[in-house]
Structure 1
Amino acid sequence: MVRVLVVADEVVEALWTDQVHAHDGVDLILAAGDLPFDYLEHLANALDRPLVFVPGNHDADLSGYSNVRGLWTQSGVPVRWPGPAGAVNADERVIDVAGLRIAGLGGSIRYNKGPNQWTERQQARRARRVTRLAAWRKLRDGRGVDVLLTHSPPLDCGDEPDAPHQGFACLHTLVTRLQPPLLLHGHIHPHGHPRPDRHLGTTRVVNVVPLKVLEVTR
Protein backbone atom coordinates (compact mmCIF):
# COMPACT_ATOMS: atom_id res chain seq x y z
CA MET A 1 0.00 0.00 0.00
CA VAL A 2 1.37 3.40 -1.02
CA ARG A 3 0.16 6.48 0.84
CA VAL A 4 -0.16 9.43 -1.54
CA LEU A 5 -0.73 13.15 -1.01
CA VAL A 6 -2.51 14.59 -4.07
CA VAL A 7 -2.91 18.33 -4.67
CA ALA A 8 -4.36 20.49 -7.44
CA ASP A 9 -5.54 23.99 -8.39
CA GLU A 10 -5.85 25.62 -4.96
CA VAL A 11 -3.01 26.35 -2.55
CA VAL A 12 -3.69 25.04 0.95
CA GLU A 13 -2.19 27.79 3.09
CA ALA A 14 -1.63 25.47 6.07
CA LEU A 15 0.82 23.46 3.99
CA TRP A 16 3.12 26.51 3.85
CA THR A 17 3.50 26.15 7.63
CA ASP A 18 4.76 23.43 9.94
CA GLN A 19 1.34 21.81 9.54
CA VAL A 20 2.71 20.26 6.36
CA HIS A 21 4.42 17.70 8.59
CA ALA A 22 1.04 16.19 9.39
CA HIS A 23 1.66 14.45 6.05
CA ASP A 24 5.14 13.13 6.88
CA GLY A 25 3.76 9.61 6.54
CA VAL A 26 3.09 9.83 2.80
CA ASP A 27 5.28 7.96 0.34
CA LEU A 28 4.62 10.12 -2.72
CA ILE A 29 3.22 13.51 -3.76
CA LEU A 30 1.11 13.86 -6.90
CA ALA A 31 0.00 17.19 -8.36
CA ALA A 32 -2.78 17.50 -10.95
CA GLY A 33 -1.95 20.98 -12.22
CA ASP A 34 -2.49 24.71 -11.78
CA LEU A 35 -0.40 25.16 -8.66
CA PRO A 36 2.59 27.51 -8.19
CA PHE A 37 5.79 25.63 -8.86
CA ASP A 38 7.42 27.02 -5.71
CA TYR A 39 4.52 25.53 -3.72
CA LEU A 40 5.22 22.12 -5.25
CA GLU A 41 8.95 22.48 -4.53
CA HIS A 42 8.13 23.38 -0.92
CA LEU A 43 5.97 20.26 -0.49
CA ALA A 44 8.62 17.98 -1.95
CA ASN A 45 11.37 19.53 0.16
CA ALA A 46 9.39 19.70 3.42
CA LEU A 47 8.17 16.11 3.17
CA ASP A 48 11.31 14.81 1.46
CA ARG A 49 9.27 12.70 -0.94
CA PRO A 50 9.24 12.35 -4.73
CA LEU A 51 6.77 14.59 -6.54
CA VAL A 52 5.11 13.76 -9.85
CA PHE A 53 2.88 16.25 -11.65
CA VAL A 54 1.00 17.06 -14.83
CA PRO A 55 0.59 20.69 -15.98
CA GLY A 56 -2.71 22.51 -15.92
CA ASN A 57 -4.01 25.12 -18.32
CA HIS A 58 -2.71 27.95 -16.12
CA ASP A 59 0.81 26.51 -15.86
CA ALA A 60 3.81 27.46 -17.96
CA ASP A 61 4.45 25.67 -21.24
CA LEU A 62 6.88 22.86 -20.37
CA SER A 63 6.92 21.19 -23.78
CA GLY A 64 10.12 20.78 -25.76
CA TYR A 65 12.48 20.38 -22.79
CA SER A 66 14.83 17.40 -22.48
CA ASN A 67 16.93 16.25 -19.55
CA VAL A 68 20.05 14.23 -20.25
CA ARG A 69 22.16 13.34 -17.22
CA GLY A 70 20.87 16.35 -15.32
CA LEU A 71 21.33 18.90 -18.12
CA TRP A 72 18.16 20.59 -19.38
CA THR A 73 18.05 21.56 -23.05
CA GLN A 74 15.50 22.98 -25.46
CA SER A 75 16.13 22.58 -29.18
CA GLY A 76 19.62 21.39 -28.26
CA VAL A 77 20.46 24.55 -26.30
CA PRO A 78 21.18 24.36 -22.53
CA VAL A 79 18.42 26.14 -20.60
CA ARG A 80 16.95 26.46 -17.14
CA TRP A 81 13.85 24.31 -16.86
CA PRO A 82 10.91 26.47 -15.73
CA GLY A 83 9.16 23.60 -13.95
CA PRO A 84 9.39 22.71 -10.25
CA ALA A 85 12.94 21.69 -9.33
CA GLY A 86 13.35 17.99 -8.67
CA ALA A 87 9.80 17.09 -9.74
CA VAL A 88 8.91 14.69 -12.54
CA ASN A 89 6.59 15.85 -15.30
CA ALA A 90 4.39 12.86 -16.18
CA ASP A 91 2.54 14.59 -19.02
CA GLU A 92 2.17 12.17 -21.94
CA ARG A 93 4.41 9.68 -20.11
CA VAL A 94 4.24 6.49 -18.08
CA ILE A 95 6.58 6.43 -15.12
CA ASP A 96 7.35 4.17 -12.17
CA VAL A 97 7.84 5.81 -8.76
CA ALA A 98 7.39 4.72 -5.14
CA GLY A 99 6.23 1.32 -6.34
CA LEU A 100 3.41 2.73 -8.48
CA ARG A 101 3.02 2.95 -12.25
CA ILE A 102 1.59 6.36 -13.15
CA ALA A 103 0.34 7.50 -16.55
CA GLY A 104 -0.06 11.23 -17.03
CA LEU A 105 -2.02 13.53 -19.32
CA GLY A 106 -2.10 17.22 -18.50
CA GLY A 107 -3.95 20.22 -19.88
CA SER A 108 -7.52 21.26 -20.49
CA ILE A 109 -9.86 21.58 -23.42
CA ARG A 110 -8.85 24.47 -25.69
CA TYR A 111 -10.85 27.61 -24.96
CA ASN A 112 -8.31 30.35 -25.79
CA LYS A 113 -4.68 30.60 -26.90
CA GLY A 114 -3.10 29.82 -23.52
CA PRO A 115 -0.59 26.99 -22.96
CA ASN A 116 -1.48 23.41 -22.12
CA GLN A 117 -4.82 23.57 -23.90
CA TRP A 118 -5.81 20.97 -26.45
CA THR A 119 -8.60 20.28 -28.87
CA GLU A 120 -10.34 16.94 -28.45
CA ARG A 121 -8.45 15.60 -31.47
CA GLN A 122 -5.08 16.77 -30.14
CA GLN A 123 -5.67 15.27 -26.71
CA ALA A 124 -6.86 12.01 -28.26
CA ARG A 125 -3.58 11.80 -30.16
CA ARG A 126 -1.62 12.42 -26.96
CA ALA A 127 -3.74 9.81 -25.17
CA ARG A 128 -2.89 7.23 -27.83
CA ARG A 129 0.79 7.82 -27.13
CA VAL A 130 0.18 7.12 -23.45
CA THR A 131 -1.68 3.95 -24.40
CA ARG A 132 1.27 2.75 -26.49
CA LEU A 133 3.77 3.48 -23.72
CA ALA A 134 1.64 1.67 -21.14
CA ALA A 135 1.20 -1.33 -23.45
CA TRP A 136 4.95 -1.52 -24.05
CA ARG A 137 5.65 -1.41 -20.31
CA LYS A 138 3.06 -4.09 -19.61
CA LEU A 139 4.46 -6.32 -22.35
CA ARG A 140 7.89 -5.96 -20.81
CA ASP A 141 7.04 -6.67 -17.16
CA GLY A 142 3.35 -7.62 -16.96
CA ARG A 143 2.38 -4.60 -14.86
CA GLY A 144 -0.50 -2.31 -15.65
CA VAL A 145 -1.06 1.34 -14.72
CA ASP A 146 -1.99 2.00 -11.08
CA VAL A 147 -2.90 5.69 -11.41
CA LEU A 148 -3.97 7.84 -14.34
CA LEU A 149 -3.08 11.42 -13.37
CA THR A 150 -4.82 14.13 -15.42
CA HIS A 151 -5.61 17.80 -15.06
CA SER A 152 -9.08 17.63 -16.61
CA PRO A 153 -11.78 15.05 -15.89
CA PRO A 154 -13.41 12.85 -18.51
CA LEU A 155 -16.33 14.36 -20.38
CA ASP A 156 -19.60 14.06 -18.39
CA CYS A 157 -17.74 12.59 -15.43
CA GLY A 158 -17.25 15.38 -12.93
CA ASP A 159 -16.73 18.21 -15.41
CA GLU A 160 -18.76 21.43 -15.87
CA PRO A 161 -20.91 22.67 -18.77
CA ASP A 162 -18.99 25.92 -19.40
CA ALA A 163 -16.44 25.74 -22.22
CA PRO A 164 -13.22 26.04 -20.15
CA HIS A 165 -14.24 23.26 -17.76
CA GLN A 166 -15.58 20.61 -20.11
CA GLY A 167 -13.82 17.26 -19.86
CA PHE A 168 -12.23 15.16 -22.58
CA ALA A 169 -14.17 12.38 -24.30
CA CYS A 170 -10.89 10.64 -25.16
CA LEU A 171 -10.27 9.95 -21.46
CA HIS A 172 -13.09 7.40 -21.59
CA THR A 173 -11.17 5.49 -24.25
CA LEU A 174 -7.91 5.86 -22.32
CA VAL A 175 -9.50 4.47 -19.17
CA THR A 176 -10.96 1.55 -21.11
CA ARG A 177 -7.56 0.69 -22.52
CA LEU A 178 -5.47 1.19 -19.38
CA GLN A 179 -8.00 -0.01 -16.79
CA PRO A 180 -6.35 1.94 -13.94
CA PRO A 181 -7.89 1.53 -10.49
CA LEU A 182 -7.68 5.32 -10.02
CA LEU A 183 -8.05 8.40 -12.19
CA LEU A 184 -7.05 11.52 -10.24
CA HIS A 185 -7.87 14.94 -11.71
CA GLY A 186 -8.04 18.63 -10.84
CA HIS A 187 -9.39 21.59 -12.85
CA ILE A 188 -12.90 21.53 -11.32
CA HIS A 189 -13.05 23.72 -8.21
CA PRO A 190 -15.49 22.50 -5.55
CA HIS A 191 -16.50 26.06 -4.48
CA GLY A 192 -17.66 24.69 -1.15
CA HIS A 193 -19.73 21.86 -2.62
CA PRO A 194 -18.71 18.21 -2.16
CA ARG A 195 -17.48 16.54 -5.33
CA PRO A 196 -18.31 12.84 -5.00
CA ASP A 197 -16.13 10.19 -6.55
CA ARG A 198 -17.40 8.74 -9.79
CA HIS A 199 -16.71 5.51 -11.64
CA LEU A 200 -15.90 4.57 -15.20
CA GLY A 201 -16.23 0.82 -15.13
CA THR A 202 -13.86 -0.33 -12.39
CA THR A 203 -11.92 2.95 -12.39
CA ARG A 204 -12.58 5.31 -9.50
CA VAL A 205 -12.52 8.93 -10.68
CA VAL A 206 -11.46 11.36 -7.93
CA ASN A 207 -11.51 15.16 -7.98
CA VAL A 208 -8.48 15.99 -5.80
CA VAL A 209 -8.94 19.78 -5.54
CA PRO A 210 -7.42 21.09 -3.33
CA LEU A 211 -6.01 18.07 -1.47
CA LYS A 212 -6.62 14.37 -0.96
CA VAL A 213 -4.68 11.72 0.93
CA LEU A 214 -5.20 8.29 -0.59
CA GLU A 215 -3.89 4.80 -0.05
CA VAL A 216 -3.14 3.12 -3.37
CA THR A 217 -2.66 -0.60 -3.75
CA ARG A 218 0.43 -1.55 -5.73
Structure 2
Amino acid sequence: MPRVLAVSDEIVQPLWTEWLHERAGDVDLVLGAGDLPFDYLEFLSNELDRPCVFVPGNHDVDLSGYARGRGMWLRDGFPARWPGPVGWVNADGQVVDAAGLRIAGLGGSIRYNDGPNQWTERQQARRAGKVARVAARRERRDGRRVDVLLTHSPPKDLGDREDPPHRGFACLHTAVERMRPRLLLHGHIHPHGQPVPDRELGKTRVVNTVGYRILDLPEHVDGNDEP
Protein backbone atom coordinates (compact mmCIF):
# COMPACT_ATOMS: atom_id res chain seq x y z
CA MET A 1 0.00 0.00 0.00
CA PRO A 2 1.94 3.07 -1.18
CA ARG A 3 2.07 6.06 1.17
CA VAL A 4 1.98 9.44 -0.54
CA LEU A 5 2.98 12.92 0.57
CA ALA A 6 0.88 15.41 -1.42
CA VAL A 7 1.77 19.12 -1.35
CA SER A 8 0.55 22.30 -3.03
CA ASP A 9 0.20 26.08 -2.85
CA GLU A 10 1.39 26.83 0.71
CA ILE A 11 4.84 26.20 2.15
CA VAL A 12 4.67 24.20 5.37
CA GLN A 13 7.75 25.50 7.12
CA PRO A 14 8.41 22.40 9.27
CA LEU A 15 8.60 20.32 6.08
CA TRP A 16 11.53 22.50 5.06
CA THR A 17 13.50 21.17 8.03
CA GLU A 18 14.67 17.86 9.46
CA TRP A 19 11.10 17.42 10.81
CA LEU A 20 10.27 16.25 7.30
CA HIS A 21 11.87 12.89 8.04
CA GLU A 22 9.91 12.48 11.26
CA ARG A 23 6.61 13.29 9.60
CA ALA A 24 7.03 11.90 6.09
CA GLY A 25 10.17 9.81 6.06
CA ASP A 26 8.25 6.62 5.30
CA VAL A 27 6.41 7.84 2.19
CA ASP A 28 6.85 6.03 -1.12
CA LEU A 29 5.91 8.88 -3.44
CA VAL A 30 5.64 12.69 -3.40
CA LEU A 31 2.96 14.42 -5.46
CA GLY A 32 2.82 18.17 -6.10
CA ALA A 33 -0.39 19.88 -7.21
CA GLY A 34 1.21 23.20 -8.16
CA ASP A 35 2.09 26.71 -7.02
CA LEU A 36 5.01 25.92 -4.75
CA PRO A 37 8.56 27.32 -5.05
CA PHE A 38 10.72 24.94 -7.01
CA ASP A 39 13.53 25.08 -4.44
CA TYR A 40 11.02 23.85 -1.84
CA LEU A 41 10.07 20.96 -4.12
CA GLU A 42 13.74 20.20 -4.74
CA PHE A 43 14.38 20.09 -0.99
CA LEU A 44 11.61 17.50 -0.61
CA SER A 45 13.03 15.47 -3.49
CA ASN A 46 16.59 15.58 -2.20
CA GLU A 47 15.73 14.82 1.40
CA LEU A 48 13.22 12.04 0.81
CA ASP A 49 14.89 10.48 -2.25
CA ARG A 50 11.55 9.16 -3.51
CA PRO A 51 9.82 9.42 -6.91
CA CYS A 52 8.31 12.89 -7.25
CA VAL A 53 5.54 13.80 -9.70
CA PHE A 54 3.89 17.20 -10.10
CA VAL A 55 1.65 19.39 -12.23
CA PRO A 56 2.14 23.16 -12.54
CA GLY A 57 -0.22 25.71 -11.05
CA ASN A 58 -1.32 29.03 -12.45
CA HIS A 59 1.48 30.84 -10.57
CA ASP A 60 4.22 28.55 -11.90
CA VAL A 61 6.34 29.29 -14.95
CA ASP A 62 5.43 27.95 -18.37
CA LEU A 63 6.83 24.42 -18.65
CA SER A 64 5.18 23.47 -21.92
CA GLY A 65 7.20 22.27 -24.88
CA TYR A 66 10.08 20.70 -22.93
CA ALA A 67 11.14 17.12 -23.55
CA ARG A 68 14.04 14.93 -22.48
CA GLY A 69 16.05 13.54 -25.37
CA ARG A 70 19.60 12.56 -26.29
CA GLY A 71 20.68 13.03 -22.68
CA MET A 72 19.58 16.66 -22.52
CA TRP A 73 16.53 18.86 -22.23
CA LEU A 74 15.02 20.08 -25.49
CA ARG A 75 12.40 22.67 -26.25
CA ASP A 76 10.90 22.66 -29.72
CA GLY A 77 13.79 20.42 -30.77
CA PHE A 78 16.58 22.70 -29.51
CA PRO A 79 18.76 22.28 -26.40
CA ALA A 80 17.32 24.21 -23.48
CA ARG A 81 17.63 24.54 -19.74
CA TRP A 82 14.80 22.84 -17.88
CA PRO A 83 13.22 25.56 -15.70
CA GLY A 84 11.20 23.13 -13.58
CA PRO A 85 12.16 21.49 -10.28
CA VAL A 86 15.09 19.10 -10.51
CA GLY A 87 14.19 15.57 -9.49
CA TRP A 88 10.52 15.91 -10.39
CA VAL A 89 8.50 14.51 -13.30
CA ASN A 90 6.02 16.89 -14.91
CA ALA A 91 2.82 14.88 -15.42
CA ASP A 92 0.82 17.74 -16.97
CA GLY A 93 -1.06 16.30 -19.92
CA GLN A 94 0.63 12.93 -19.32
CA VAL A 95 0.08 9.53 -17.72
CA VAL A 96 3.04 8.35 -15.64
CA ASP A 97 3.75 5.33 -13.44
CA ALA A 98 5.54 5.77 -10.12
CA ALA A 99 5.77 3.78 -6.88
CA GLY A 100 3.26 1.23 -8.10
CA LEU A 101 0.66 3.86 -8.99
CA ARG A 102 -0.58 5.23 -12.29
CA ILE A 103 -0.96 9.01 -12.27
CA ALA A 104 -2.71 11.20 -14.82
CA GLY A 105 -1.91 14.90 -14.69
CA LEU A 106 -3.82 18.06 -15.63
CA GLY A 107 -2.24 21.23 -14.34
CA GLY A 108 -3.30 24.84 -14.48
CA SER A 109 -6.39 26.84 -13.65
CA ILE A 110 -9.32 28.35 -15.47
CA ARG A 111 -8.21 31.26 -17.67
CA TYR A 112 -8.66 34.62 -15.96
CA ASN A 113 -5.79 36.71 -17.42
CA ASP A 114 -2.83 36.25 -19.77
CA GLY A 115 -0.62 34.33 -17.34
CA PRO A 116 0.84 30.85 -17.99
CA ASN A 117 -0.81 27.54 -17.15
CA GLN A 118 -4.32 28.89 -17.64
CA TRP A 119 -6.94 27.26 -19.84
CA THR A 120 -10.42 27.93 -21.03
CA GLU A 121 -12.94 25.23 -20.24
CA ARG A 122 -12.79 24.08 -23.86
CA GLN A 123 -8.98 23.93 -23.91
CA GLN A 124 -8.83 21.93 -20.68
CA ALA A 125 -11.53 19.60 -21.97
CA ARG A 126 -9.37 18.85 -25.03
CA ARG A 127 -6.35 18.23 -22.84
CA ALA A 128 -8.36 16.00 -20.52
CA GLY A 129 -9.70 14.02 -23.46
CA LYS A 130 -6.17 13.38 -24.72
CA VAL A 131 -5.03 12.19 -21.30
CA ALA A 132 -8.08 9.92 -20.96
CA ARG A 133 -7.33 8.35 -24.35
CA VAL A 134 -3.74 7.66 -23.33
CA ALA A 135 -4.95 6.14 -20.07
CA ALA A 136 -7.42 3.93 -21.94
CA ARG A 137 -4.69 2.63 -24.27
CA ARG A 138 -2.47 1.84 -21.29
CA GLU A 139 -5.32 0.05 -19.54
CA ARG A 140 -6.06 -2.08 -22.60
CA ARG A 141 -2.41 -3.01 -22.77
CA ASP A 142 -1.73 -3.96 -19.16
CA GLY A 143 -5.09 -3.97 -17.36
CA ARG A 144 -4.15 -1.09 -15.07
CA ARG A 145 -6.25 2.01 -14.82
CA VAL A 146 -5.38 5.42 -13.41
CA ASP A 147 -5.04 5.43 -9.61
CA VAL A 148 -4.64 9.18 -9.12
CA LEU A 149 -5.82 12.12 -11.21
CA LEU A 150 -3.45 14.93 -10.15
CA THR A 151 -4.74 18.42 -10.93
CA HIS A 152 -4.14 21.96 -9.79
CA SER A 153 -7.76 23.09 -9.91
CA PRO A 154 -10.71 21.15 -8.49
CA PRO A 155 -13.72 19.96 -10.43
CA LYS A 156 -16.48 22.52 -10.76
CA ASP A 157 -18.82 22.65 -7.74
CA LEU A 158 -16.55 20.41 -5.66
CA GLY A 159 -14.73 22.79 -3.33
CA ASP A 160 -14.06 25.55 -5.88
CA ARG A 161 -14.93 29.25 -5.46
CA GLU A 162 -17.20 31.67 -7.29
CA ASP A 163 -14.51 34.27 -8.10
CA PRO A 164 -13.14 33.92 -11.67
CA PRO A 165 -9.60 32.67 -10.81
CA HIS A 166 -10.87 29.90 -8.54
CA ARG A 167 -13.69 28.36 -10.52
CA GLY A 168 -13.22 24.65 -11.07
CA PHE A 169 -13.27 22.80 -14.37
CA ALA A 170 -16.51 21.11 -15.41
CA CYS A 171 -14.53 18.82 -17.73
CA LEU A 172 -12.92 17.12 -14.74
CA HIS A 173 -16.25 15.45 -14.05
CA THR A 174 -16.02 13.78 -17.46
CA ALA A 175 -12.34 12.97 -16.94
CA VAL A 176 -13.15 11.17 -13.69
CA GLU A 177 -15.99 9.28 -15.34
CA ARG A 178 -13.68 8.10 -18.12
CA MET A 179 -10.56 7.28 -16.10
CA ARG A 180 -12.22 6.09 -12.86
CA PRO A 181 -9.36 7.07 -10.52
CA ARG A 182 -9.51 6.22 -6.87
CA LEU A 183 -8.33 9.70 -5.97
CA LEU A 184 -8.40 13.18 -7.47
CA LEU A 185 -5.80 15.34 -5.72
CA HIS A 186 -5.89 19.11 -6.31
CA GLY A 187 -4.64 22.37 -4.88
CA HIS A 188 -5.50 25.99 -5.77
CA ILE A 189 -8.25 26.50 -3.17
CA HIS A 190 -6.73 27.92 0.01
CA PRO A 191 -8.76 26.97 3.10
CA HIS A 192 -7.77 30.13 5.09
CA GLY A 193 -8.11 28.24 8.34
CA GLN A 194 -11.41 26.61 7.53
CA PRO A 195 -11.87 22.82 7.55
CA VAL A 196 -11.67 21.24 4.10
CA PRO A 197 -13.57 17.96 3.97
CA ASP A 198 -12.81 15.38 1.33
CA ARG A 199 -15.53 15.10 -1.29
CA GLU A 200 -16.84 12.36 -3.53
CA LEU A 201 -17.25 12.39 -7.30
CA GLY A 202 -18.92 9.09 -8.07
CA LYS A 203 -16.55 6.59 -6.46
CA THR A 204 -13.57 8.94 -6.66
CA ARG A 205 -12.38 10.66 -3.50
CA VAL A 206 -11.56 14.35 -4.12
CA VAL A 207 -8.85 15.72 -1.81
CA ASN A 208 -7.63 19.29 -1.39
CA THR A 209 -3.85 19.10 -0.80
CA VAL A 210 -3.10 22.79 -0.04
CA GLY A 211 -0.27 22.70 2.48
CA TYR A 212 0.21 18.94 2.70
CA ARG A 213 -1.62 15.65 3.11
CA ILE A 214 -0.24 12.18 3.79
CA LEU A 215 -2.39 9.45 2.27
CA ASP A 216 -2.22 5.66 2.18
CA LEU A 217 -3.26 4.50 -1.27
CA PRO A 218 -4.23 0.99 -2.32
CA GLU A 219 -2.15 -0.70 -4.97
CA HIS A 220 -3.56 -0.67 -8.48
CA VAL A 221 -6.01 -3.44 -9.27
CA ASP A 222 -7.13 -5.20 -12.42
CA GLY A 223 -8.83 -2.81 -14.81
CA ASN A 224 -12.03 -4.88 -14.69
CA ASP A 225 -12.40 -4.42 -10.93
CA GLU A 226 -14.71 -1.79 -9.54
CA PRO A 227 -13.24 1.12 -7.55
**TM-score normalised by structure 2 residue count:** 0.95
After TM superposition, the structure 1 stretch with the greater mean CA deviation from structure 2, 12-21 or 159-168, is 12-21
Letter in 2 for 1:51: C
2:102 is matched with 101
Q: Displacement, 1:50?
A: 1.1
Letter in 2 for 1:108: S
The Cα offsets for residues 117-150 of structure 1, whole Å up to 9 and x where unpaired, read as 0000000000000111000100100111000000
Taking only aligned residues, the RMSD between alpha carbons, in angstroms, comes to: 0.6
Matched residue of 2:114: which SS?
A: coil
Letter in 2 for 1:73: L
Q: What is the correspondence of 1:69-218 to structure 2 with a 5 Å cutoff?
A: 69-218=70-219
Letter in 1 for 2:166: H
The Cα offsets for residues 16-68 of structure 1, whole Å up to 9 and x where unpaired, read as 11111121100000000000011101001011111100000000000011101
Letter in 1 for 2:99: A
Letter in 1 for 2:96: I
Q: Distance in 1 between matches of 2:131 and 2:152?
A: 15
Deviating beyond 6 angstroms after TM superposition, the runs of 4 or more aligned structure 1 residues are none
Q: Distance in 1 between matches of 2:114 and 2:199?
A: 31
The Cα offsets for residues 85-104 of structure 1, whole Å up to 9 and x where unpaired, read as 12100001001110000000
Q: Distance in 2 between matches of 1:116 and 1:199?
A: 26
1:43 is matched with 44
Q: Distance in 2 between matches of 1:94 and 1:75?
A: 21
Q: Displacement, 1:212?
A: 0.1
Q: Displacement, 1:70?
A: 3.2
Q: Distance in 2 between matches of 1:141 and 1:50?
A: 22
Q: Distance in 1 between matches of 2:70 and 2:208?
A: 35
Q: Distance in 2 between matches of 1:24 and 1:69?
A: 34
Letter in 1 for 2:17: T
Matched residue count: 218
1:5 is matched with 5
Matched residue of 2:162: which SS?
A: coil
Does structure 1 residue 18 correspond to structure 2 residue 18?
yes
Matched residue of 1:173: which SS?
A: helix
1:62 is matched with 63
Q: Distance in 2 between matches of 1:77 and 1:106?
A: 24
Q: Percent identity?
A: 69
Letter in 2 for 1:13: Q
Letter in 2 for 1:15: L
Q: Displacement, 1:69?
A: 4.3
Matched residue of 1:85: which SS?
A: coil
